[in-house]
Structure 1
Amino acid sequence: MDYSKIKNIDQIDVNGKRVLIRVDFNVPVKGGVVTNDLRIRAALPTIESLLKRGGRLILVSHLGRPKGKVDAQYSMKPVQEALAKLVSVPVHFCETIESLKGASESLKPGEILLFENIRFYAGEEKNDPDLSAKLAEAGDVYVNDAFGTAHRAHASTEGVARLLRPAVCGYLMKKELDFLGKAVSHPEKPYVAIIGGAKISGKIDVIENLASKVDHLLIGGAMMFTFNKAKGLPTGKSLVEEDRVEMAKDLLARFGQTILLPTDCMVSTSFDFEKMTVGPLKSVAVDALGSDDIGLDIGPDTIARYRDLLLSARTVVWNGPMGVFEVDSTAKGTFALADALAEATSKGATTVIGGGDSAAAVEKAGLADRVSHVSTGGGASLEFLEGKELPGVAALDRN
C-alpha cells in the first residue's frame, strides 16, 4: 500500500472532540517509577498539537505482558505521573473499560485521560469486537501514534479504527511512515542495507525483499556464520542455524552479486552470554577460523570495506547489530558502522535505523541524533522492510 496517502491529525477538526489516541507508552518501570520516558516524550508533539486545538484526549497504551489479566506491576499509574510532569494540563486516570465512556465524556477541552493498561483485557490481543466497540464509544475521532504496535491487529490498533471515524495517524507515526516508506519505495541511489543480528531465520523476508532493491546488502552479526557454512567455510564454535544453511545457499545463489559477507571477524575461545564475559579477542580471516573459535564481531578489514560503501551511499537502512554490542570489546564493529552512518548523514544521505537492537546500539553509541531517523518499532519496522502491510496503518483513513 502507499503509506504516503494515510491521513494525519492536521487534516481533522478536533475542537471540543474526544480524541482516542493509541500511544506506545511501553516504558521501563522500576519501583513504581518510570526509568526512561523517551517513548512518552516521543508522543508529545502529537499530544500538544491536539491539546492546543481544543481536543479532549484519551490515551490508550499497553505496558509489558500481563497476559490479559490485571497485574499491578504493569499498571499505567507510574506512566500517569511521568506524563503529568511533561505536560501543563491535568492528567486524569481511568481504571476500567466500563467506566471509560463516562470518564471521557466528563473531560474538558485541553485535558488528558490516561486509560489503564489495555492488555489487562484478553480481548486486546484477540482483536475482540466487543472491546473495540467499548473503546470506540469513548472517542469521537481516533488517532494511532503507536508505530511499535502497528504490525499487530489488536483491538486498540486495528479493531477500533474500523469503527471510529475519522481514523488518522499522529506525527510520530507519520514520521515513521515517511522515512521507512521512502527508503522502501523511493530510495535515492546508491541504496545500501545493513542486516545483522544473531539469526538468519528472523530476517529471511527482509533479506529477500531488500536484496532485489538495494545496490549492496551488508551482512553482519552471528548470521554471517550460517552463510559461511553455506559456502563451505569453517565456523568453529560460532552460532550456526543448521536448519537454515540450505536457505542461505539459496539466497546466495539468487542474490550473490548484492549480498556482501564479512572477510574477517573478531573471535575468542571463551564467551559467556549470560554473564556477558569475553576471553581474549583476535582478528581472523573467515576462511581461517579454528575449531574452538567463536565469532563475536566483524573484523577491521570488513569494517573498512563496509564503511567505504556506507560513505558512498545516498540511502541506508540498518536492522541488526554487527556483533555482541552489549559488551564493549565486541561492539566495535557495530559502533564503527554507526559512526559511518552519522558521517554519511552529514553528507546528505538518508539513514534509517530499524528499531530494536539497532536502535539500542545507536543510542549506546551516542549517535541517535546524528542519523536521519531511528524507528521506535523493532517488529513493525522489520515487517515494513519485509514489504508486509501493517494492520494498524491499513485501517486508517487515506487521501
Structure 2
Amino acid sequence: MKKIKTVDDFNFENQTALIRVDFNVPINELHEITDDTRIQYTIPTIQKILSEKGKIVLISHFGRPKGAPSKAFSLKFLVQHLSKLLKITVNFFENCIGDSTIKKVNELKYGEILLLENLRFHKEEEKENENFAYELSKLGDIYVNDAFGVAHRYHTSITILPKFFGEKKCIGFLMKKEIQYLNQFLLGKGERPISVLLGGAKISSKIEIIENIIGFADYILIGGGMSYPFIKIKGGMIGDSIIEKNQIIEKTLKKIFHKYQDKINIIHLPKDVVIADSFKNESNTKIVPIHSIPNGWMGLDIGPYSIKNFCKIIEKSKTILWNGPVGVFEFSNFSLGTRSVAKAIANRTEKGAFSLVGGGDSIASLKMENCEKKISYLSTGGGAMLSSLKNKTLPGISAIIL
C-alpha cells in the first residue's frame, strides 16, 4: 500500500475530485436497487472529500448499453438513492463529456456533488481510447479510483484516464480496504487455519488461484461445476454434469496433482451430490457419490455428507475466503449446499473468524439467509477479486502507481 496514494494523501479544499465509482448495481424489473453494497462502500470516500469542501464529479458505467444512449441504462435512477444516503442533493447531467458537461461542472459549488451519465454510452470507454480519456480529464483536478469491481478491466476510465493527472491521482477507501484484505490472504498472514472455498461453474478462471493459494492455505474446498473436472481426471463418472470441455484444463489439473502431491490432501472435493434428470427446479432428484453420476443425470448441488464435511472445516477455520456457489442455488431445490455454507461462514465469523466473501452469487446467498452483515468484509468485485487471487496487480491499481 505504500506506493499507492489514497484520498488521505490529499486535501480536497477548492479541488474538483473526479471519482470513478462502480455503481453497476443489481436492479429488479421495477428498476429498484436490490443490493446497494457498492454504493454504501463508496460513501466514506465521498464524505471525506465533501467535508474538505471539495467538488465531486462521479463517473460510472451501468449494464451493457453497447456504446449508445439508452433510457434503460441511464444512471439517473441513482440520484434519489444517493441523495438519501449522503443527506445532500446529488445533481445529475445527461452526458459525461463535452462543453455542456464542463459548464455543468464549473457551475457546481465546492461541497456539492454531480453524477454524470453512463460512461458506456460512449463506445470508447471499453476501448482504452486516449481522446475519450482526455475529454474526461477536463472534469477534475484529482482523479480518484474507488471502483474495485472494474479494477481488472482495461477500460478508458480505469487505465488511460489516470495518466492525465500526473501525481494527482489516488484510490478511495473502498479500494484501499479491498487491497488490504486480499493481501491478508495472498501473503498468508491470516490467522490459521486458513480456508478457501471456491465454487461456481467455471474452473478455467480459478486454476491459477488454486496454484497460488495451495502453498499457504490449510484447506481448499471446491464445489459447484468446478469440482467435476477434478472427478473426471480421477476416473470418476460425472454423467451430464456441467464441465468446461478443454484439454488444457485437464492437462493443467494433472500438472497440479503431480507438482503438489504432498499438498493435494488439502483440496477437499464433495463426496456426494444431489443429481437431477434435467436442468430445472422441478426435475427428479436423487443423492449419489460424486464419482458415480449416471448418464442422463447431472450434479446440481453438494449432498448432505459434503455439506457436513464442508461446514465442519469452516467451523474450525479462523480465516475464510469464499467465491462462488457450490450448487445451482438459484433453484430452491438445489440451494441447500450454498445456503448451508453461507450460514456456516456467518456463524464462524460471529465466533471470531475473519471472513471475506466475493462474487454476486455468494453475496446473494448470504442475503437469502439474512447473514450478509455477519461477514467481516463483502468484496465489491467478483472478477477483480479473482484476478487479485491469481497474484496479479490489477490494471486499475497499476494505473495509479505509475
TM-score, normalised relative to structure 1:
0.92
Using the alignment, how far apart are the partners of 2:89 and 2:80 within structure 1? 11
CA contact (8 A) 2:27 2:35 kept: no
What does 1:20-39 align with in structure 2 at a 5 Å threshold? 20-28=18-26, 33-36=31-34, 38=36, 39=38
The alignment status of 1:203 with 2:206, answered yes or no, reads yes
Deviations 1:41-97 (A, max 9, x none): 332222122111111100000011112222232112212233233333332222330
From 330, 336, 353, the counterpart of 1:332: 336
Number of the residue aligned with 1:346: 350
TM-score, normalised relative to structure 2:
0.91
Number of the residue aligned with 2:81: 82
Using the alignment, how far apart are the partners of 1:350 and 1:86 within structure 2? 28
2:175 is matched by which residue type in structure 1?
M
**117-126 or 354-363: which moved more?**
354-363
1:13 is matched by which residue type in structure 2?
N
Number of the residue aligned with 2:368: 364
Using the alignment, how far apart are the partners of 1:394 and 1:286 within structure 2? 42
1:22 is matched by which residue type in structure 2?
R
Count of aligned positions: 392
Deviation, structure 1 residue 193: 0.9
Using the alignment, how far apart are the partners of 1:236 and 1:33 within structure 2? 40
**Change beyond 3 A, Cα 1:32–1:78:** farther
CA contact (8 A) 1:56 1:111 kept: yes
Gaps of 5+ in 2: none
Deviations 1:269-295 (A, max 9, x none): 2333xxxx2324332122433333321
2:56 is matched by which residue type in structure 1?
L
Gaps of 5+ in 1: none
Deviation, structure 1 residue 24: 1.0
**Change beyond 3 A, Cα 1:234–1:31:** closer
Using the alignment, how far apart are the partners of 2:110 and 2:64 within structure 1? 32
**101-110 or 228-237: which moved more?**
101-110
Deviation, structure 1 residue 5: 4.5
From 178, 181, 184, the counterpart of 1:179: 181
**306-315 or 229-238: which moved more?**
306-315
Number of the residue aligned with 1:283: 287
The alignment status of 1:393 with 2:394, answered yes or no, reads no
2:13 is matched by which residue type in structure 1?
N
Number of the residue aligned with 2:113: 112
Deviations 1:173-229 (A, max 9, x none): 122112112121223222111111112122222222222331221110022111111
SS of 1:271's equivalent in the other structure is coil
CA contact (8 A) 1:352 1:371 kept: yes
Deviation, structure 1 residue 31: 7.1
SS of 1:92's equivalent in the other structure is strand
SS of 1:302's equivalent in the other structure is helix
What does 1:2-151 align with in structure 2 at a 5 Å threshold? 3=1, 5-28=3-26, 33-36=31-34, 38=36, 39-96=38-95, 97-98=97-98, 99-151=100-152
CA contact (8 A) 1:142 1:161 kept: yes
Using the alignment, how far apart are the partners of 2:365 and 2:31 within structure 1? 24
Number of the residue aligned with 2:217: 214
Deviation, structure 1 residue 30: 5.9
CA contact (8 A) 2:201 2:226 kept: yes
Deviations 1:368-398 (A, max 9, x none): 1111111111111110111111111122259
Using the alignment, how far apart are the partners of 1:233 and 1:33 within structure 2? 45
Deviations 1:230-278 (A, max 9, x none): 1001112212333233333333333423322111111122333xxxx23
**281-290 or 134-143: which moved more?**
281-290
Number of the residue aligned with 1:170: 172
**20-29 or 333-342: which moved more?**
20-29
1:181 is matched by which residue type in structure 2?
N
Deviation, structure 1 residue 37: 5.8
Using the alignment, how far apart are the partners of 2:206 and 2:401 within structure 1? 30
Using the alignment, how far apart are the partners of 1:220 and 1:46 within structure 2? 36
Number of the residue aligned with 1:267: 275
Aligned residues with identical type, % of pairs: 40
Number of the residue aligned with 1:321: 325
Cα RMSD after superposing both structures: 2.0
